[in-house]
Structure 1
């Protein structure tokens, strides 16, 4: 092919990749088409990589040594395959955080190489601006994602870590970073300013995530995804690569929109999540079985009593929460549902948008346990059905079923949309202890007259339910 023909072919590959990314993102919005969406995005990425390699060989001639590309490809494939095969689905939030960290590091390093390769004074205003933003956002995403990983994994406390003047100092650091990028535009050869931008990005990643509680990780993961996408878009402008601009913009704005949706689901503003030091995970000792922290004692029942309630039920709605992920009880939940359905019981699952530690966490776990997609229902679809349901089985959920969100104006979760599990004829609540959820408040559901609590490991308890039903 001639040079012009090759360049045209590369742009067509980029166009095809962009269309596939958009179609893949659309399909990911529905559980029924999510697998196809992932496949379309994978094909799009192959097309984008192929186009970039062809452009580097035939058009610009910058690729002269393939061995380094092959080595990097093999190493990256080995790491990605290992993460996919060996990291359990219950650790998916941590894996997502690590992926964001790697993505941020990659775009940050590309920005550094671009600056070193072309030299600041030779770069246009657009290039130096894009490169500065690319490095700042990439560094921020890298350390911020590592902080999120540490909080999710327990290496770092899940409680918000705050100090006086924190928001003001973070604001000054952000302003300083933008000011240094402006200085680079005015004086592209100021290498010290470029490296200061990278250093401030690294620092901001730590300081911006540190004051956010572990239970707010769904919003944080969305935001870090947005940062990574915007960094990739900036890389596209710096390199003149159209597909990077398009896919980076898709990633950036979809992550931001999803973060806004997660905030809305918690009835909190985006700024409150980022700067409110809310979402602390309880670290106190477990409350003794049968005794509430204050107020009336909950009705704590035995496994046998709860199994009899399930045996008599004709309709059950399962409400999964983070406790299900912690105990890895999704397979046990599926087995219990199968046992109930074999006795003529209708079983469905109610999914709250912020249940778990990342968007769609419960959907991922239940899909891994081969729970049929058509049994999963979002909050707004299934909430009105609780009143006509025999049993609401709450597995490790807390604040997303707390009636205080409707009845107590002084509660920090007042106004938050919740699943109406308290409206069911009987509500069975499975929890390890009576400790509060991320909001740090007592759950009114636990002391309702139609609630029976069974304390202990959810996986073990549900397995005992299933065994009792099969007797």
Structure 2
């Protein structure tokens, strides 16, 4: 009777996962969806702890200690992490999820009896969880380093395509060899572990910083697949379904991100941009026109329609609350203010949406790429704050550019454009933004938060 009740409770947990994931698809219900999914996970954990398991009677102290330590780390991280560091935290936590699958596989390989073999479904599942979990772990650590900046352009692999392809073939062949052995040799499985960890490093290292949003979603799908493999090892249905949901959603998101960049996943993984891009020539005369806060304030106050394009620079300056204040002030003056969101703006999928939601910007004001481009020609002023590659005309004009073909926000079709930026530095793709030299473009140099505060003061005095 108890075993049947466990299955029903697991089913409830799975249903909560699905409902939570569904609600995460819309900004208005995302917070509730997160709580629902968390409730499902909490329920699954509690039931699992009270499920009879042979040989597990002495493990509760370790389990409870692990839960307390993990909860404390998660609570402190959630409270302390800056919005600019959110992508790094997501990447790091994702890597820890992969490490869990990897460690589960190692423990199971070590616990296999002297007569056990890997030449069956259980062995294949364990090897799969070990391989995928290892890639997700070390790959996410490298992604964390690239996002944080300390690994950017510091490690270059010669012929990375050949290295990765060769290493993958070696791992597949070696896994096949292990499955042909009559009994499990744990020491030989450690060699597979080492190869898999190295592959995670070589897999992500060649990929440029501009492709990190795609890499994060791809590694997230790997973590889900690793969790599903770990669930199959223990015949735990909630782990299997939860892992499949994460893996499937991560894969779908990866495909959508690639579509937003007009590139194939193979092109991203093999060709990546942003790691070694060189300056691309342009026929534009490189003359920069500077704006002043007072002149820009007049244009904003008497505009009918204003579009704000947020980017990573907005997050760095922690100016999301300040821009929301400017938006509200202009709205009170009768100006229609909305935000144009590019799918790969920032350092992770949905980074700008999360950033603006933190400042209580209403989701109805957020326009996706296609909708925003339809509004550009009738827009009096576009404020580009910290965005770079996602508004670079080189994506349409220069076939030699590493971002050529990527859909961008067509801000140059608006009546006026002002870029708020510290200087003339290139974006994460490593190329100069030709928007800066456009006929309709002016630059307002300085820290974004400070510049927006000046605009607020000027608008209030006009």
C-alpha separation in 2, matches of 1:24 and 1:120: 43
User: After superposition, where does 1:328-407 map in structure 2 within 5 Å?
Assistant: 328-407=318-397
User: After superposition, where does 1:384-463 map in structure 2 within 5 Å?
Assistant: 384-463=374-453
Cα offset, 1:166, TM superposition? 2.1
Match of 1:264 among 236, 259, 263: 259
C-alpha separation in 2, matches of 1:13 and 1:268: 43
1:116 aligns with 2:110: yes
Cα offset, 1:294, TM superposition? 7.4
Range with greater deviation from structure 2 (213-222 or 359-368): 213-222
C-alpha separation in 1, matches of 2:439 and 2:404: 22
Cα offset, 1:277, TM superposition? 4.0
Specify the SS of the correspondent of 1:429: strand
Specify the SS of the correspondent of 1:465: helix
C-alpha separation in 2, matches of 1:444 and 1:25: 40
Match of 1:46 among 12, 27, 42: 42
C-alpha separation in 2, matches of 1:34 and 1:333: 23
C-alpha separation in 2, matches of 1:84 and 1:136: 29
C-alpha separation in 1, matches of 2:87 and 2:77: 12
Structure 1 residues 397 and 65, CA gap change in structure 2 (3 angstroms)? closer
Range with greater deviation from structure 2 (348-357 or 323-332): 323-332
The 8 Å contact of residues 120 and 128 in structure 1, kept in 2 or not, is answered as no
User: After superposition, where does 1:85-124 map in structure 2 within 5 Å?
Assistant: 85-119=79-113, 121-122=115-116
User: After superposition, where does 1:84-163 map in structure 2 within 5 Å?
Assistant: 84-119=78-113, 121-122=115-116, 125-157=120-152, 159=153, 161-163=155-157
C-alpha separation in 2, matches of 1:176 and 1:14: 39
1:244 aligns with 2:239: yes
C-alpha separation in 1, matches of 2:359 and 2:415: 28
Q: Which residue does the alignment assign to 1:307?
A: 297
TM-score by length of 1: 0.92
C-alpha separation in 1, matches of 2:271 and 2:154: 9
The 8 Å contact of residues 129 and 184 in structure 1, kept in 2 or not, is answered as no
Q: Which runs of 5+ in 2 are unaligned?
A: none
Specify the SS of the correspondent of 1:417: coil
Match of 2:170 among 176, 190, 195: 176
- Give CA deviations for 1:402-428 in whole Å, capped at 9, x if unaligned: 223233444332322111211211111
Range with greater deviation from structure 2 (28-37 or 430-439): 430-439
Specify the SS of the correspondent of 1:122: coil
Q: Which runs of 5+ in 1 are unaligned?
A: 285-291
C-alpha separation in 1, matches of 2:229 and 2:35: 26
Q: Which residue does the alignment assign to 2:33?
A: 37
Match of 1:15 among 11, 18, 27: 11
C-alpha separation in 2, matches of 1:120 and 1:345: 75
Q: Which residue does the alignment assign to 1:289?
A: none
Q: Which residue does the alignment assign to 1:287?
A: none
C-alpha separation in 2, matches of 1:217 and 1:160: 16
Structure 1 residues 60 and 335, CA gap change in structure 2 (3 angstroms)? same
Match of 1:322 among 312, 316, 320: 312
The 8 Å contact of residues 211 and 274 in structure 2, kept in 1 or not, is answered as yes
C-alpha separation in 2, matches of 1:413 and 1:150: 23
Match of 1:233 among 203, 228, 231: 228
Q: Which residue does the alignment assign to 1:468?
A: 458
Q: Which residue does the alignment assign to 2:218?
A: 223
Structure 1 residues 467 and 101, CA gap change in structure 2 (3 angstroms)? same
The 8 Å contact of residues 317 and 349 in structure 1, kept in 2 or not, is answered as yes
C-alpha separation in 2, matches of 1:150 and 1:374: 35
Cα offset, 1:120, TM superposition? 6.5
The 8 Å contact of residues 420 and 443 in structure 2, kept in 1 or not, is answered as yes
TM-score by length of 2: 0.94
Give the aligned CA root-mean-square deviation in angstroms.
2.1
Q: Which residue does the alignment assign to 1:288?
A: none
Specify the SS of the correspondent of 1:244: helix
Cα offset, 1:281, TM superposition? 7.9
Specify the SS of the correspondent of 1:148: helix
C-alpha separation in 2, matches of 1:137 and 1:364: 29
Structure 1 residues 123 and 83, CA gap change in structure 2 (3 angstroms)? farther
